[in-house]
Structure 1
């Protein structure tokens, strides 16, 4: 009679899984603690610099504490490092490349072989379609959503800087302000950057606008880290106000602005992150560690055969 043996996970494997999980949890905790105030540190630093140049005070006093800003940045960096370490350990445990996450069994799909679903790294659709194609469509739409959300926020701040009163219960709530007043025009510029990033991620622009891919991806990461925590905390505060658990601090601003702007920030940050992730997967090209994948962009040689674009390490936005 045959005996079926149950293969249990070995103690070293369990220890490795627990170590990976612990690193992920610690990374999330540190990154969350660092991200919780990083938006105010960045915007507060920008406003402090503008105030020093123009001599004007900002529309709000965010303050800027360099030691606390440095501590939050360090926590965010340490948490991100732990998360990346955990992801790479998990990939190795699954037999995938720790750098790109590709596995040998899906290497053919990444290199454009027929019969595998979705899109390849360059965004071309393989015959089978599938979930990867759905993900790519979602990320492109998230890019356009990022453009709309950034434009809406920028328009609100710029019209305040130009003397507009939309969203104000007191027309003089901010006193005498100008477009260059800290907290108005500068945030409008940040919104413009967000619009450019969203459009670039959605369209995957080609030359002559060329830049290393890490630049837009880093900018989008910073933007998401700024927006998502503020959106979560602000939305929670508005819920607490609605339940009578906290007192509103309106200071001449219409209540609907706060009710709208914090969920707006949350959606904007998530959309930007989704669009950036899609752009990353469309343009990551051939992995330098495992050699899987294919060039991110191809050019037509004129003979009907696409050739890999030179400079595989540089993509365009």
Structure 2
């Protein structure tokens, strides 16, 4: 009696997965295309074409908090055009060049500066607002909260100036990927995972990331409760850090309940942050019906935590810029001053989870 041995060929990944895996090759060209396109918009705005999303073209209530709220299309459009064209050329250089020394530092610095500008500084708290309120609206609108239709909610939350913030974030992420691929390639590391042969990775090893990532996750768990406790106190009628008159105004307008929702949303996010360092962040726990015992898709916590961290970073940059730090009553009395440090520790916890849970690289084969 003979036994037939069947061999199977691993399923070929789909086009989306193949594109994701090939990100070091295409992101520099995507960053170049984005920069050229946005630079062209800047030129059109400078020539008088409508649609300039900052200053007079922005939502009136948001101009004061925007980094570019005092700008005009005629004054800033040429700068956008020039920086966009220059950025496109630099991105193409980063795609092909193998620079060293001062040139390498200058090119990488340009790329990272673009990433920070477009992801953190140009957007404002509207990114965080839409991230926080959209899930509530998707579930609550059929039940009358908020009292509007989905079309009305979309028109209110996603006008062109707000959408432009997301356009800028996409460009910033392309620049971050471009910078990362360039840095890895120019030190002869694997462009996909960053590992180098014969290099001791220390703090980036799974064990090292597990140690410091745990402390970052605990800090990111505790941080939102400082914000949430203040908002919950307001909802319960306790004027914590504010005057009674201001609290009465919040209750009369109903805004206090929106704050209570945000507090609950933040606290829930803080609890979920523990998953970045606990076993249930890797294996679904028993109480998750239908998924108990199965592996948690690694992209799920990484994408969710990254979106929240970047949203907090853009909102936190506004608070850091507008707060009068010479007045202790102002910065100590605002729970939103926690946004910036919360973004830092949540970002660190997310990076630690990424390093701790990654396996052997599919390209270079290295696992350490």
1:27-47 per-residue CA deviation (whole Å, 9 max, x = no partner) reads 332223454342244346567
1:162-188 per-residue CA deviation (whole Å, 9 max, x = no partner) reads 444333312413125879933322441
1:85-143 per-residue CA deviation (whole Å, 9 max, x = no partner) reads 1111110111111111001123xx67xxxxxx56842x3xxxxxxxxx3x543321111
The equivalent position to 2:223 in structure 1, one of 139, 143, 149, is 149
Q: Which residue of 2 aligns with 1:96?
A: 189
Query: After the TM superposition, which of the residue ranges 215-224 and 11-20 deviates more from structure 2?
Result: 11-20
Q: Which residue of 1 aligns with 2:111?
A: 23
2:213/2:352 contact within 8 Å kept: yes
Q: Would you say 1:54 and 2:128 are equivalent positions?
A: no
Q: CA, structure 1 residues 81+182, in 2 after alignment: closer, same or farther (shift >3 Å)?
A: same
Q: CA, structure 1 residues 44+99, in 2 after alignment: closer, same or farther (shift >3 Å)?
A: same
1:219-263 per-residue CA deviation (whole Å, 9 max, x = no partner) reads 2112211222322321332226739xxxxxxxxxxx467545243
Paired residue secondary structure (1:286): coil
Cα RMSD of the aligned pairs, angstroms, is 3.5
Q: Which residue of 1 aligns with 2:321?
A: 236
2:128/2:315 contact within 8 Å kept: yes
Q: Which residue of 2 aligns with 1:200?
A: 275
Q: Which residue of 2 aligns with 1:42?
A: 131
Aligned-partner Cα distance in 1 for 2:301–2:192: 20
What's the CA shift for 1:287? Answer: 1.2
Q: CA, structure 1 residues 178+240, in 2 after alignment: closer, same or farther (shift >3 Å)?
A: closer
Alignment coverage as a number of residue pairs: 248
What's the CA shift for 1:71? Answer: 0.9
Paired residue secondary structure (2:99): helix
2:119/2:314 contact within 8 Å kept: no
What's the CA shift for 1:159? Answer: 3.5
Paired residue secondary structure (1:291): coil
Q: Which residue of 2 aligns with 1:69?
A: 162
Aligned-partner Cα distance in 2 for 1:177–1:238: 24
TM-score by length of 1: 0.65
Aligned-partner Cα distance in 2 for 1:30–1:155: 32
Q: Which runs of 5+ in 1 are unaligned?
A: 1-10, 58-62, 111-116, 124-132, 244-254, 295-317
Aligned-partner Cα distance in 1 for 2:134–2:332: 23
Aligned-partner Cα distance in 2 for 1:69–1:272: 24
2:250/2:256 contact within 8 Å kept: no
Q: CA, structure 1 residues 290+215, in 2 after alignment: closer, same or farther (shift >3 Å)?
A: same
